Structure 1
C-alpha cells in the first residue's frame, strides 16, 4: 500500500495571523514521520471567492476556475490535518468557505485537527469535526490543542516565545493524532480502492 499523502491546511488568512508559528512547528514535526507524506496547503495561496455556485459540487460541477483549482488540489490527498484558530467559538470564515467550496474531494478521508487559542481552540475543533462529518470525512478522536499557559507563552498576546518552549507538552497529543490519522488513512485508502 502507498504511503498516505496528507494535506496540512492552514485555515487562517489574516495578515496578522498567528498561524505561521504553529504551522512551522507542525510541519517540521509531521515531516519526521516515515509512514506518511505531508504537504503544506495555505489558504492564502488560493484566491477563493465566497461560495457562489449553483450548488455543491456533489450535485453540479463548479464553474469558478478558482474553486475548481482548489478541488483539484484537495483530490491529491488521502487525508487532512487542519490547523485552525478559534474565532468567536468557531473556525475562521476563510476555512469554512474553503470547506464549502468542495464536497466529493473530502469524502471518505480522515480529518485531524490542531487548534489554538486561549481554550486550545477546543470549540473550533468541535465545530470543525461536525462540518467534517457532513462532508463525509472521518474526524479522528485525538487532536492537538495549543491553549492556556502554553498558548500565552508563544502567542504575541503573551510572551511571544518560541514553539520549542511548549514542544514537550504538545508532542504526546501530536503522536496520538498522527497515529490515528495513519490508521484511518490506510483504512479509507483500502476501502476507496475497493469501491472504485
Structure 2
C-alpha cells in the first residue's frame, strides 16, 4: 500500500524535516507500506493560483493520486496549520477522495492538536477518512534525539513510538479497506 508522508512546513529553520525523519524511521518498520516523502519545501508552487496547473502543481497532484493513504506532518502556527499546506491541499481534489489521512503534529504546548482539528475539517470536505489516533509532539517537553539510545529513560518517546505504531496499523487497515471499496464501486459524489 502506497503511503505519502507529506511534510507541511516550508519555513526557514523548521522542525518539520526532523519530525518527518523521526516518523519515517518508525514507519519503515511496517514492511507492508510503500512510503514516499512529499516535502512541500521541494515544490516551487506559484504565489497565485494560475489558470493552468504548473509542472510542480501537476507533480504534487500526481503524488496525491498515486497514494492509497496519507500521513500529514504538520506544525501548529497560531492555532492552525501552515498556509503552504493549505495551498498544496487545494491543488488536488478528486485525488484525495476516499483515502485515509493520519496526522503527526508538533508545536509548543498543544503539540499541534489545534492544527489537526483544523485539518480534519478541510479533509472532511475532500471526502477523506481522517484517523482518530495520531502522534502529537510537544516541543516544550518532548525530544526526538533518542534519550533511550543514550541510556536515559524516555517514557514519552516510548508512548510516541506506540502511538505511531497504532496509527500506522489503523492507516493500513483503512487504506486497504478503502482501496478495495473504490475497486468494487465508484464513490457517490
TM range, normalised to the smaller chain? 0.7 to 0.9
User: Counterpart in 1 of 2:7?
Assistant: 10
Change (3 A) 1:150 1:137: same
Aligned residues: 178
TM-score by length of 1: 0.84
**Counterpart among 68, 71, 89 of residue 61 in structure 2:** 71
Task: Please state how far the C-alpha of 1:33 moved relative to its aligned partner.
Answer: 0.5
Q: 2:37 aligns with which of 35, 40, 48?
A: 40
Partner of 2:180, secondary structure, is helix
Q: Give the secondary structure class of the aligned counterpart of 1:75.
A: helix
Match of 1:29 among 16, 22, 26: 26
What does 1:121-160 correspond to in 2, within 5 Å?
121-147=112-138, 149-151=140-142, 153=143
Q: Secondary structure at the match of 1:150?
A: coil
Q: Which residue of 1 aligns with 2:185?
A: 195
The runs of 5 or more residues in structure 2 that have no matched partner are 148-153
Alignment of 1:76-155 (within 5 A): 76-118=66-108, 119-147=110-138, 149-151=140-142, 153=143
Q: Distance in 2 between matches of 1:88 and 1:111?
A: 22
In 1, the alpha carbon distance for the partners of 2:97 and 2:48 equals 19
Structure-1 separation of matches of 2:93 and 2:50: 12
Please report how far the alpha carbon of residue 80 of structure 1 lies from its aligned counterpart in structure 2 after TM superposition. Answer: 0.4
Aligned partner of 2:175 in structure 1 is: 185
What is the Cα deviation at residue 110 of structure 1? Answer: 0.3
Show structure 1 runs of 4+ deviating over 2 A. Answer: 62-66, 148-151, 163-167
CA contact (8 A) 1:51 1:101 kept: no
Check whether the contact 2:27–2:165 (CA below 8 A) recurs between aligned residues: no
Query: Are the counterparts in 2 of residues 21 and 163 from structure 1 also a CA contact under 8 Å?
Result: no
